Structure 1
Amino acid sequence: MRRLLLAALATGVPLVTAAAYLPNAAAQPPHGPASASAPRTCSPQSVTAPAGTTVESVTAVRHEAGTVDVPEVWPLPADHVDGVPAFCDVTVTLTHPGAGDHAKVRVWLPLQGWNGRLQTIGGSAYAAGDYGKGLAGAVRNGYAAATTDAGVGTYIDTSWALSGDGQVNEAPLQNFASRSEHEAAVVAKEVIGRFYGRPASYAYFNGCSTGGRQGYMEAQRHPDDYDGILANAPAVHWDEFEVATLWPQVVMNQEKNYPTPCELAAFTKAAVQECDPLDGAEDGLVDAPERCGFDPRSLIGTKVLCAGRELTITAADATVVRKIWDGPRTTSGRKLWPGVPVGAELSGLAGTTPPDAEGNVKGAPFPVPAAWVATWLEKQPSFDVSTITYSRFTQLFKQSQAEYGRVIGTDDPDLSAFRDSGGKLLTWHGGADEFIPAQGTVRYRQQVERKMGGIKKVDDFYRLFLAPGATHCGLNNGSGATVDDLGALVAWVEQGKAPRTLPATLRNASGDLVTRELCGYPRMPRYDGHGDRTTAAGFHCAPPTRH
């Protein structure tokens, strides 16, 4: 479980420059680099409170050049970022009068060499912001960086959710959902303007997962906050998908069958082998998991070696996997949400405990959806989610929509104000995302197209790229799989170079690194029939095959 938590909480915030997309690595926004001025003094400054808030305190701490140590925040271990220039860490604490909240906005300001840009870093799971790694990476690349904790908890700490009488704490939920991210943008811009004597030439938002959702919320509700928003694997449709990701546990509990991780991996391996060739090349990547028609019943009777034991895949195992891949449905058969994509690690959401003394196992739900259902829906943090029946699941899904869709759904398709402000929104989403199915992001993109005039008009300001084989926030997270997404966004915003593709390095099902051009949605990669299958040269982007 700890390994899965670490994977799920990876923010994917890149520690790379935009050099691949800019004419030269030293390219600067208008007004030139701030390094031409004298070194800045790091001291507390006056900050105007954003509308509806009061500034409780402002602190400033100077950090010398060198290594930034990132603290351990459970379940993530301590980390560090080397080569960070000297910077001033300004922390502004805000409160909403009468709410009793205390939201911290941190702004890291390079003392020399500022590139004239702001980069705000988003959060992960139930953490609204960054604990230092993303901030340090941004400062190392010349940005002034900002983040907010929204006054809530850490990654899986939801103790702030309910009041003493068991009612939802509306103020921190509003902070987490939308309010604090906007206030962070307002504060960061003022701090930057006062510190450097001029405003940032460009403002960017950078987030994945919860951070991706925050980016979409900014585009929807505060379209003037950022010139460019990089929002990857976004947790949009939060009120729906958060319940939907508990579905694998409901299936196992209701079917009274708990396949082992080894058996789940066997299903995934077989499905990838069958559906890998759909793009014309057997390269270990399933480019369109939603088109994979692999029948898990074909593995019934197959022997699987697991920790020295030989297991036989049963019809019950196949039923569980089929339902998980298919996704949640009502008892009448109506589909509620996409399932875990074929090719993704099933044990992420279909986790189980180790066998007890009698060899029995039970479900081990992923903490994020379990907390959402138990705390915000049942209003009982200790609620046993293993008791949820198929019919109760449908009720909870509808309840979440009704109670929280307007608060945190983050699925308003009207991006006209963001478009009119000149903003650009760029997203990639992994095809093997084990926690947030990419089809949810595709669904939102299609809703925007219907609302705003079709693919070409939406492409003018919003582009989506699907990354075959990529896991949740699985690029730029140290696995060797990479993409210069921020560089592409900067080039689009500042030079008008809209990205048709995103050059990427991906890790396939065998663990090998291959290069690909991520195709702009709805185009898909197709093998040309010749050339090296491990490089992008043998592939081109083509319209999706119709079925």
Structure 2
Amino acid sequence: MTARMHPSWRQAAFAAAALLAAGCGSVDRGTPVAGAPVACAGLASVVPAGTRLVLSETVPAGEIQLTGVQPGAPGSKAPVPAHCHVQGKIAERTGIDGKPYAIGFDLRMPADWNGRFFFQGGGGTDGTLRDAVGQLTGGGNTGNALMQGYAVVFTDTGHLDEPGPDGPYRFGLDPQARLDNGYNSMAQTGRVAKALIAAHYAKPPGRSYFVGCSNGGRQAMMMAQRYPDMFDGVIASAPAYRVPLASVQAVYDTQLYARAAAENALAADGRPVLSAAFSPADMKLLTTEVLNRCDALDGLKDGIVDNWPACRFTPEALRCTGAKTAQCLTGTQVDALSKSFAGPRDANGRAIYSDWTFDAGLHSTEWTRWKFGDARGAVPNARNITLMTGALAMVFSTPPTVTADFYGHALGYDVARDSAKVSAVDATFPLSAMQWEVPDSPDVDAFARHGGKMLFFHGVSDPVFSVKDTVRYLDRLRERYGERTDGMARLFTVPGMAHCSGGPATDQYDGLSALVNWVEKGQPPERIVARARPENRDVTTPGRTRPLCPWPKQSRYRGSGSIEDAASFGCN
């Protein structure tokens, strides 16, 4: 079955056909394989054309050290069952920059297979071949899909990070590498993984799932839209589905917070020390006032803003009338917050990305480090400078801007004018980032026809991608499908949760079981119980549970029972 594309993508892809030497090809849900199972050591002889295995080994049950995680750090190891582990390369080639490229993949197939396939989504701009253990969404999950019996695959999306601060983004200078990172690598990896699974077990997967957060959430949406027959269900958590535009927002934020930081500290080069924009006490003051204004809107003061759409908080209430004190924010700080949460606009006055909501998790380190770095440090180290600005400059813009000075690039970026570069094309890059990177079409007809299900999760205190933007995508689905939307797509917002996890939130939940029960048993999730972990600072009681509710329903206290127990709450 050939891959189906949205019409606008199809036209753009025709114009760029010469770039698709690696090709999307035909992608299907798997073909039954006759004959005996192929042992792990023999899989190199049955790989699809254009694929080369570089590793094939049998791994005993135990623990493995995870790639790219500091040994000894929390979560640096993962439990694994006995399994067949292979790594390979698809479509090896030389880029226009003269550098070698290939779509790398890591595939693990458990001896005790449950008949299912799990595609583990990536993050950031990828570029690292991580271990396919089947990481679950939410915070603090100690298990993984591999331990549950899933065959799991992961891809580096067609490139490996190079040395140097700009190393993770140099692939953006190669047009095919951009397309591989955007969508082609997931399709090709899925095709090869299903073929190897079918050979190893002598039968194809009965069900296939794609699960990811951030860029992995974007990838999940991409698969449902571009390759609707490949997966039966997807989880898109905090989806980076409009990441080129969110990257413009990150640059805009950097400029705003740099102005606030300039009041407090300048580095030796004369630039503001971004981490001085707001102190931890300033941010705690902000969220305390948010709770004062909005916590009780759901009928219960419990440190959680469940009724966040009704919160009309404005930081103007905290503006100092005189000198700065511990009880107020400077005018520059207030202006920075107000403008950031309203979102940037282009030269025609149109919103570029999204507006944001004030929530109880804005003081958490998971929020502040993304926006302006760790206030205890002396060097600007916000992740939005390194990740978002680097990707915006070298991957999402046409033509790319080659730079390793991401802070300087952010400070000099003309948001109203330069944001048009994410939609630009030229002779070298005939597809813009908004075409190859952004899966924002509400047309999921083909995915729905074979019973595909989509689960979305998004933290209300996410500093990277606005929960309101994900809500708008669900609204667009509802405009197209009406009441049928609830039968194929559901969104669960998590008050207080930062990007993918963390913050003063009940951020530990089991989304995978909810998705599988929906796909395989026809049981749509009406509520998902989430738990607060001890690491979730400022939660009244670690271990408290709350129901996550399908949007637009919200958690409401029933009027009796412990407010630390999800059983005392309904979804209304």
TM-score normalised by structure 1 residue count: 0.80
Q: Which residue of 1 aligns with 2:415?
A: 393
Mapped partners of 2:508, 2:73: distance in 1: 22
Mapped partners of 2:59, 2:78: distance in 1: 13
Deviation at 1:97, TM superposition (A): 5.1
Identity, % of aligned positions: 27
Residue type of the alignment partner of 2:529: P
Q: Which residue of 2 aligns with 1:184?
A: 189
Residue type of the alignment partner of 1:266: L
Q: Which residue of 1 aligns with 2:438?
A: 409
- Which structure 2 residues correspond to residues 79-98 of structure 1 after superposition, within 5 A? 79-81=75-77, 83-95=79-91
Q: Which residue of 2 aligns with 1:251?
A: 256
Mapped partners of 1:96, 1:222: distance in 2: 22
Please tell me whether residue 473 in structure 1 is matched to residue 500 in structure 2: yes
Cα distance change of structure 1 residues 195 and 271 upon mapping to structure 2, 3 Å threshold: same
Residue type of the alignment partner of 1:287: D
Cα distance change of structure 1 residues 186 and 41 upon mapping to structure 2, 3 Å threshold: closer
**Larger deviation, residues 372-381 vs 328-337:** 328-337
Q: What are the superposed Cα offsets for residues 246-272 of structure 1, whole Å, 9 maximum, x if unpaired?
A: 322121235655233431332123213
Match of 1:70 among 46, 66, 69: 66
Deviation at 1:504, TM superposition (A): 1.6
Cα distance change of structure 1 residues 480 and 129 upon mapping to structure 2, 3 Å threshold: farther
Contact 2:346–2:419 (8 Å) recurs in 1: no
Mapped partners of 1:315, 1:195: distance in 2: 64
**Larger deviation, residues 419-428 vs 293-302:** 293-302
Q: Which residue of 2 aligns with 1:348?
A: 369
Q: Which residue of 1 aligns with 2:556?
A: 526
Residue type of the alignment partner of 1:538: S
Please tell me whether residue 453 in structure 1 is matched to residue 458 in structure 2: no
Residue type of the alignment partner of 2:118: Q
**Larger deviation, residues 381-390 vs 209-218:** 381-390
Deviation at 1:541, TM superposition (A): 2.2
Mapped partners of 2:383, 2:44: distance in 1: 46
Cα distance change of structure 1 residues 520 and 144 upon mapping to structure 2, 3 Å threshold: same
Mapped partners of 2:323, 2:75: distance in 1: 37
Deviation at 1:221, TM superposition (A): 0.3
Residue type of the alignment partner of 1:222: Y
Please tell me whether residue 369 in structure 1 is matched to residue 388 in structure 2: yes
**Larger deviation, residues 226-235 vs 381-390:** 381-390
CA RMSD of aligned residues (A): 3.5
Cα distance change of structure 1 residues 355 and 39 upon mapping to structure 2, 3 Å threshold: closer
Q: Which residue of 1 aligns with 2:103?
A: 103
Deviation at 1:78, TM superposition (A): 7.9
Mapped partners of 2:560, 2:442: distance in 1: 41
Cα distance change of structure 1 residues 140 and 80 upon mapping to structure 2, 3 Å threshold: farther
Q: What are the superposed Cα offsets for residues 72-123 of structure 1, whole Å, 9 maximum, x if unpaired?
A: 3579958444542211111121115564421112210112x11111111111
Q: Which residue of 2 aligns with 1:20?
A: none
Residue type of the alignment partner of 1:140: M
Mapped partners of 1:118, 1:147: distance in 2: 11
Q: Which residue of 2 aligns with 1:270?
A: 289
Mapped partners of 2:57, 2:165: distance in 1: 27
Q: Which residue of 2 aligns with 1:6?
A: none
SS of 2:222's equivalent? helix
Q: Which residue of 2 aligns with 1:314?
A: 330
**Larger deviation, residues 154-163 vs 500-509:** 154-163
Mapped partners of 1:242, 1:200: distance in 2: 37
Contact 1:353–1:364 (8 Å) recurs in 2: yes
Please tell me whether residue 140 in structure 1 is matched to residue 147 in structure 2: yes
Q: Which residue of 2 aligns with 1:116?
A: 115
Deviation at 1:400, TM superposition (A): 1.3
Contact 1:210–1:235 (8 Å) recurs in 2: yes
Q: What are the superposed Cα offsets for residues 433-475 of structure 1, whole Å, 9 maximum, x if unpaired?
A: 122111111111112222x322x21111111111122221117
Deviation at 1:273, TM superposition (A): 2.8
Cα distance change of structure 1 residues 47 and 78 upon mapping to structure 2, 3 Å threshold: farther
Q: Which residue of 2 aligns with 1:295?
A: 314
Deviation at 1:284, TM superposition (A): 1.0
SS of 2:181's equivalent? helix
Please tell me whether residue 486 in structure 1 is matched to residue 512 in structure 2: yes
TM-score normalised by structure 2 residue count: 0.77
- Which structure 2 residues correspond to residues 411-430 of structure 1 after superposition, within 5 A? 411-430=440-459
Residue type of the alignment partner of 1:521: W
Cα distance change of structure 1 residues 239 and 374 upon mapping to structure 2, 3 Å threshold: closer
Please tell me whether residue 327 in structure 1 is matched to residue 347 in structure 2: no
Residue type of the alignment partner of 2:126: A
Mapped partners of 2:374, 2:300: distance in 1: 38
Q: Which residue of 2 aligns with 1:172?
A: 177
Q: What are the superposed Cα offsets for residues 361-419 of structure 1, whole Å, 9 maximum, x if unpaired?
A: 86846222111233233512234544657981122323213431001012121111111
Deviation at 1:229, TM superposition (A): 0.9
SS of 2:211's equivalent? strand
Mapped partners of 1:498, 1:330: distance in 2: 40
Q: Which residue of 2 aligns with 1:46?
A: 45
Q: Which runs of 5+ in 2 are unaligned?
A: 1-35, 136-143, 264-276, 425-431
SS of 2:422's equivalent? helix
**Larger deviation, residues 70-79 vs 528-537:** 70-79
Q: Which residue of 2 aligns with 1:517?
A: 547
Contact 2:422–2:433 (8 Å) recurs in 1: yes
Mapped partners of 1:201, 1:146: distance in 2: 16
**Larger deviation, residues 141-150 vs 340-349:** 340-349
Contact 1:350–1:365 (8 Å) recurs in 2: yes
Q: Which residue of 2 aligns with 1:17?
A: none
Mapped partners of 1:401, 1:41: distance in 2: 45
Mapped partners of 2:381, 2:512: distance in 1: 38
Mapped partners of 1:478, 1:172: distance in 2: 38
**Larger deviation, residues 361-370 vs 461-470:** 361-370
Deviation at 1:162, TM superposition (A): 4.0
Mapped partners of 2:244, 2:59: distance in 1: 40
Q: Which residue of 1 aligns with 2:217?
A: 212
Contact 1:123–1:129 (8 Å) recurs in 2: no
**Larger deviation, residues 193-202 vs 123-132:** 123-132
Deviation at 1:242, TM superposition (A): 2.2
**Larger deviation, residues 372-381 vs 332-341:** 332-341
